[in-house]
Amino acid sequence: MVQRLAASGIQSQAVLSAMGGVERHLFVDSALVNQAYEDTSLPIGLQQTISKPSVVARMIELLEGAECARAPGGLGRVLEIGTGCGYQAAVLGRVAREVYSIERLRGLHEKARNNLRPLRLRNVHLLFGDGMQGYAQGAPYAGIIAAAGGDAVPQAWLDQLAVGGRLVAPMVRNAGQQVLLVIDKTLHGFTESVLEAVHFVPLKSGIA
């Protein structure tokens, strides 16, 4: 899987080694383990999916491009919206100093807890709640990464981003097409780049 990621253009050694260090088969149902290292999203219950490895690697590599990640110590605090089964949170835990990951579905929050417990990642904090509000207690964040796509960027995310920080999120843009959005917060305001088309589950408000 890691060789395929490198061949497909992922250049960050930190990301490649983090992807190699987290066993994806531990995050999917036993009936799907033989597909765990294919570049495909897979069902994790409650109509949600574990993201494709290539998309996880791509988004984390983009996050590492944040201005403040270039300082000594690298990527500091990161907020993930949409823990799902906890896979991406585990990968993030290997590249960022501190990870806060929030999930709105209690069943998946519990599943992620169970999946991550044996890995003993002391810097990964799982939260149950509506990620559209962000998580002010952990702010400001060097990086915010969303695993679900909405129609607009919640103001809370922009507020909770550090100056020099970067947001990477799928967002519905023109003609209902979901695209990957990168927003950098600078001293002078926000800069936005629209990248490739993506397919994420919808960002929803409230908890369930």
Show which residues are catalytic: 51
Q: Cα separation of 32 and 59, whole Å? A: 24
Question: Strand pairing of 124-128 and 42-45?
Answer: unpaired
ω into 53 cis (within 30 of 0): no
Residues near ligand SAH (CB under 6 A), total:
25
Q: Which is nearer to ligand SAH, 14 or 127 (CB)?
A: 127
User: In the chain, what is the straight-line distance between the N-terminal and C-terminal CA atoms, in Å?
Assistant: 34
Both tokens of residue 94? 């290997």
Query: To which H or E segment does residue 194 belong?
Result: strand 189-197
| 104 is a site residue for ligand SAH (CB under 6 A) | yes
Query: Whole-number minimum distance, CB 42 to ligand SAH, in Å?
Result: 9
Site string for ligand SAH, 26-65 (x = CB under 6 A): ----------------------xxxx--------------
Query: Whole-number minimum distance, CB 201 to ligand SAH, in Å?
Result: 5
Site string for ligand SAH, 121-150 (x = CB under 6 A): ---------xxx--------------xx--
Q: Angle at the Cα of 39 (from 8 to 56), degrees rounded to 5?
A: 75
Binding site for ligand SAH (CB under 6 A): 48-51, 81-85, 87-88, 102-105, 108, 130-132, 147-148, 201, 203-205
